[in-house]
Every structure is written in structure tokens, then in C-alpha cells.
């Protein structure tokens, strides 16, 4: 997997080596996330099972969306991000 946020295959939050691909911008943006590396590895607890799991918790999900946009904007413009994802997650 290519990820703009990670190089090691381990849970982004806890470092657990048993982990799974998560697309940071899902739904219709899943393909774009795949192509541009808007992905992280997450363990089961942080992916789908726990209270703070990204699929159960909007704050966790928003946190990753913001962080990923910030990282992308280190090398690209905001316009190009919004063009890809259709939305700006950061403060203006």
C-alpha cells in the first residue's frame, strides 16, 4: 500500500503490526484515496471495533481527514485538494 502519511506497516494510532488498509476519504472518494495514497493502516480496534475506531467515531475520522489534507497541502495547493475530494476539511 502507498500512504502519504505512513511508511511502516503498523497501526497509525498504536503501532500494532496486525493492521488493515483504511481509505481516509471513503464513498465516492475511495478511488481517489487509493490513487493518491490517502490511506492509513489501522488495527482492528482503531479501524472498526473499538469506541474510537475510525468507522465508529466521527472525531477520529475527521482527525485523519484533516491530517491527510494538511500533509497533501505541503506539496500541493488547496485548490487541487478540493478538486480531488470535493471538500475542504481545514479552517480557511
Q: Which is nearer to Zn ion, 13 or 89 (by Cβ)?
A: 13
List of E strands, 1-92: 20-23, 39-42
Nearer to Zn ion, 11 or 84 (CB): 11
Helices (H) and strands (E) in the chain, counts: 4, 2
Residues of this chain that interact with Zn ion (CB under 5 A) are 11, 13-14, 16, 22, 43, 46
Least distance CB 18 / Zn ion (angstroms):
9
Residue nearer to Zn ion on the CB measure, 60 or 69: 60
Amino acid at each position: 500500500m502507498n500512504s502519504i502519511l505512513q511508511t511502516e506497516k503498523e497501526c497509525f494510532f498504536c503501532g500494532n503490526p496486525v493492521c488493515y488498509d483504511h481509505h481516509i476519504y471513503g464513498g465516492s472518494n475511495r478511488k481517489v484515496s487509493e490513487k493518491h495514497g490517502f490511506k492509513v493502516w489501522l488495527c482492528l480496534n482503531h479501524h472498526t471495533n473499538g469506541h474510537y475506531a475510525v468507522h465508529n467515531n466521527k472525531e477520529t475520522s475527521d482527525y485523519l481527514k484533516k491530517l491527510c489534507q494538511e500533509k497533501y497541502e505541503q506539496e500541493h495547493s488547496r485548490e487541487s485538494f478540493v478538486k480531488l475530494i470535493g471538500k475542504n476539511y481545514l479552517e480557511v
